[in-house]
Structure 1
Amino acid sequence: MHVRVHPPDHHPRHRLDRLRQTPASSDSPGASESPLTRAQKYVQKFASCENMSTDPKDPRLPRTEFTTVGKWGVTERGVCTDRTGNGEIVFYITPDMKAFQQGYKDHTAAQLAAGNEGYGLSSRVIVGKDFAVTPTKTKTAVALVASDLRVLSCNVSFFPPDGYHREKALVEGCGLGDFVNSEDGDGSPNYEVPRDPATEGPEKPGQPATGSLGLASAGSLAELRKLVGHSVDCTKMSTEDAAVESIDYKPVVQGDPRAWGVKERAVCGNLAGAQRAHDLNWLDVVSDMRTLQTRAKAAQLADLKDDGRLLATGSKLLVGTNVAVETNSKSVRHGLYQQQFLYLNCERGFSAPAGYRLEQSLVEGCVLTNFER
């Protein structure tokens, strides 16, 4: 029997009245204390934070500078040791939180423009009223959002799963929330992911001994388009041009889609016109999933044969029970994983960490998963 785990009464969605656009932070009695000291005392209620330093040469500071004094409205920066979490917490004091959020938004936009499309999907930028922190460990971030501090996210592709909250930040295009997303499996629990009570435990939670915990399905191309609307921009969709591809976007299915077991197929995105085609994703309604996975396996192994790596511009196949999406966008895949699509991975020796789904595919030598290296 497969069940969904529902959040308990103490889960964040039962205290959303505490979530405000500028969450409470370092305000406390003791006017003589510096803002950094007050911020540290607030954080210490929820996480370990020892040996605070404001030395810009402190070796605990990250080598790649996020931001510093004089930028984004930051007036003071400090770092402390999180002994419990075995990491560090970097503090940014700012009397102008809107300027800080605008700085992070611009920084995110620059990363996205440079091709780092997954930037900010696992944000650990956590803000309060007059300070922000960036813990180096995911578990520390989870502990901190149990307070009135909130994760700042400015990647428009990110949206929290069911049971969590997201509201507008101080700048347009960003959001504040109580969900900590992470690729290391230590983030906030995703209550949208179905769990198998027979396998729940410390080793591989959420992974069934046999069968599947459930996959996405749709009865038609129109239903599939609606289903993936949060993740795939299908404002422009074409069935006639479904075979289109570009130098940057290559589909999995090649040639006659019926030979791949695909009944209906469409492409979403901006097709070539005045400028090169971009943001292409393919939607498939599948009549024979075994055939689709068999053909996709052969294509994937052929791609891996030369250098052991998949083509960066080649799409990955994410499947449901009778539907699939072909995409090379990490942010699109992130959204589809929340909707119970899984990636067909045929790499030899592949395994997924605890907390990620790992299920058998319909073809030997492949697995279905929501984990990507």
Structure 2
Amino acid sequence: MRLKRILAATATLCCLATLPACEEGGQPGPPASSPSAAAAGTGPLVKAQQYLRQFANCDDLSDRPDDPRMPKGDFPKAGQWSVKELGVCSDKVRQGEIAIAVPADMKQFQEGYKKYVLDRMDGGDGSYGMESRILIGEGFVAVPTSTRTALALVRSDLRVLTCNPGAPVPKGYKRQDPLVEHCNLSDFVGSQDGSGSPNLETPQDPAGGGEKPGQPTTGSLGLPRAGSMAELRTLVGSSLDCEKHFSTDPGAVAIESIDYAPVVTGSVLEWGLSGRALCGEPAGAQRARDLSWLDTVVDMKLLQTKAKAAQLADYKDDGRLKETASRLLVGENIAVETNSPSSRRGLYQLQFLYLNCVPGFSAPAGYRLEKSKVEGCVLTNWEPDHPLD
């Protein structure tokens, strides 16, 4: 089967089933005791199974609606997205299941998936579909629950359909246009835990070639600055808990908690800072609340260099950044450290930008993406897990 035939016949982001039955590492029930008569025939489900078996296990094929392996919840039922047949088989070697959908019209299926992804994003789930497991084939769609199975299947002509605008397709991977606009078909399998396809790219640099809508060819669209810590406190007062709860006492500034981890640790001079303050309520009778840190900066390159090393060490540990770890948002001569997504939204409106050094990061059109002071990082207001409204 050739890819062009797929296109002629024919989007943790996460597979359609962010449901228990289709999650990585989930524990679906045992397979049906025996396959149905339809699954045992020679129809499109069997043809799809025969193709899948060239690259992964696909055993105990069944089209029984009551098969406990069949995805539940949001997975399309027969009649939705033009799906006329549904089946499921098991890849026991890779500890997963493979749902199979046979659409009457592949374009309608892709349009249905695209609308579903965009509706989820509009509903507040901005990262939905970033690790898509929708694999488009010739006349059928495979939805593996295991990342290992997905990696095996993309060695074929099956291609991953992604419709989240922030979903990356790094250089070195095959990319094709699907049957609907603003989606991608590729052989890149994304995964939050790093078990998917390797992505060895460094973040895209807007000044490194190629124009990006809304981005300056050189320089910056503008970053905030402050002449003192008092000015910085006033500047961020509406975004952070700095009006009532603010301290520059070294003992208070050094406080962190299990819920709030700063970027800067140790001597502030070693990070290129001239001043540092704590906003929020440190732990007392109750747990700490709304902690964030304000920095006045004399050496922005040093600060970003140290922050890059800390961020990459965090990311290398398990392929993601800790939710309790603060993100460093910088201005011209000031910076803020906070782990609150809502606070960061307010800071982005003040033109602060987040220092992102995650390999392979890119931002969709409409978001800022600018050069940082250190190679391999960018400044941006795009957070795939917490997109701006």
The answer as to whether partners of 1:128 and 1:149 remain within 8 angstroms in 2 is yes
The alpha carbon displacement at 1:312 in A equals 2.5
Deviation string 1:302-356 (CA, Å, 9 cap, x unpaired) is 979xxxx93132446424662655556433999xxxxxxxxxxxxxxxxxxxxxx
Alignment-derived partner of residue 195 in structure 2? 186
Q: Tell me the distance in 1 between the aligned counterparts of 2:104 and 2:64.
A: 20
Deviation string 1:193-249 (CA, Å, 9 cap, x unpaired) is 7xxxxxxxxxxxxxxxxxxxxxx69xxxxxx54359899953797316678879899
Pairing 1:20–2:4 present:
yes
The answer as to whether partners of 1:121 and 1:153 remain within 8 angstroms in 2 is yes
The alpha carbon displacement at 1:168 in A equals 0.9
The answer as to whether partners of 1:24 and 1:149 remain within 8 angstroms in 2 is no
The structure 1 residue matched to 2:174, chosen from 137, 146, 165, is 165
The structure 2 residue matched to 1:322, chosen from 374, 380, 389, is 374
Alignment-derived partner of residue 288 in structure 1? 302
Of 34-43 and 232-241, the range deviating more from structure 2: 232-241
Q: Report matched runs for 1:10-89 at 5 Å.
A: 18-20=2-4, 22=6, 33-89=42-98
Q: Tell me the distance in 1 between the aligned counterparts of 2:193 and 2:305.
A: 33
The answer as to whether partners of 2:206 and 2:212 remain within 8 angstroms in 1 is no
The answer as to whether partners of 2:325 and 2:339 remain within 8 angstroms in 1 is no
Letter of the 1:234 counterpart: Q
Alignment-derived partner of residue 238 in structure 1? 221
Alignment-derived partner of residue 384 in structure 2? 331
Alignment-derived partner of residue 284 in structure 2? none
The answer as to whether partners of 1:327 and 1:333 remain within 8 angstroms in 2 is no
RMSD, matched Cα: 4.6
Deviation string 1:49-71 (CA, Å, 9 cap, x unpaired) is 11112122221123433211111
Alignment-derived partner of residue 3 in structure 1? none
The answer as to whether partners of 1:312 and 1:328 remain within 8 angstroms in 2 is no
Alignment-derived partner of residue 341 in structure 2? 312
Letter of the 1:312 counterpart: P
The answer as to whether partners of 2:144 and 2:150 remain within 8 angstroms in 1 is yes
The answer as to whether partners of 2:58 and 2:91 remain within 8 angstroms in 1 is yes
Alignment-derived partner of residue 229 in structure 2? none
Deviation string 1:245-298 (CA, Å, 9 cap, x unpaired) is 798999x99xxxxxx859xxxxxxxxxxxxxxxxxxxxx99433269749x99x
Distance 1:39 1:310, change over 3 A: same
Q: Report matched runs for 1:335-350 at 5 Å.
A: none
Q: Tell me the distance in 2 between the aligned counterparts of 1:21 and 1:333.
A: 37
The alpha carbon displacement at 1:23 in A equals 5.2
Letter of the 2:207 counterpart: K
Distance 1:249 1:117, change over 3 A: farther
Q: Tell me the distance in 1 between the aligned counterparts of 2:91 and 2:190.
A: 20
Deviation string 1:138-169 (CA, Å, 9 cap, x unpaired) is 01011111111111111122231121121210
Pairing 1:114–2:114 present:
no
State the identity as a percent: 37
The answer as to whether partners of 2:132 and 2:190 remain within 8 angstroms in 1 is yes
Q: Tell me the distance in 1 between the aligned counterparts of 2:224 and 2:373.
A: 25
Alignment-derived partner of residue 147 in structure 2? 138
| TM-score normalised to structure 1 length | 0.55
Q: Tell me the distance in 1 between the aligned counterparts of 2:9 and 2:111.
A: 19
The alpha carbon displacement at 1:109 in A equals 0.6
Instruction: Identify unmatched segments of 5+ residues in structure 1.
Output: 1-16, 27-31, 194-215, 218-223, 254-259, 263-283, 335-373
The answer as to whether partners of 2:163 and 2:182 remain within 8 angstroms in 1 is yes
The alpha carbon displacement at 1:82 in A equals 1.0
Alignment-derived partner of residue 12 in structure 1? none
Q: Secondary structure, in 3 states, of the residue corresponding to 2:81?
A: coil
The structure 2 residue matched to 1:91, chosen from 84, 100, 103, is 100
The structure 1 residue matched to 2:133, chosen from 101, 113, 124, is 124
Q: Tell me the distance in 2 between the aligned counterparts of 1:247 and 1:58.
A: 54
Deviation string 1:66-91 (CA, Å, 9 cap, x unpaired) is 21111111001111111111110001
Q: Secondary structure, in 3 states, of the residue corresponding to 2:342?
A: coil
Q: Tell me the distance in 2 between the aligned counterparts of 1:141 and 1:116.
A: 23
Letter of the 1:22 counterpart: I
- Structure exhibiting the larger radius of gyration computed from Cα positions: 2
The answer as to whether partners of 2:169 and 2:175 remain within 8 angstroms in 1 is yes
The answer as to whether partners of 1:153 and 1:176 remain within 8 angstroms in 2 is yes
The alpha carbon displacement at 1:115 in A equals 1.8
Aligned residue-pair number: 252
Q: Tell me the distance in 2 between the aligned counterparts of 1:25 and 1:45.
A: 21
| TM-score normalised to structure 2 length | 0.53
Q: Tell me the distance in 2 between the aligned counterparts of 1:187 and 1:109.
A: 23
Q: Tell me the distance in 2 between the aligned counterparts of 1:93 and 1:227.
A: 43
Q: Report matched runs for 1:201-216 at 5 Å.
A: none
Alignment-derived partner of residue 199 in structure 1? none
Q: Tell me the distance in 2 between the aligned counterparts of 1:155 and 1:68.
A: 22
The answer as to whether partners of 1:21 and 1:168 remain within 8 angstroms in 2 is no
Q: Secondary structure, in 3 states, of the residue corresponding to 1:89?
A: strand
Deviation string 1:21-46 (CA, Å, 9 cap, x unpaired) is 625999xxxxx821111111111111
Q: Tell me the distance in 2 between the aligned counterparts of 1:241 and 1:70.
A: 53
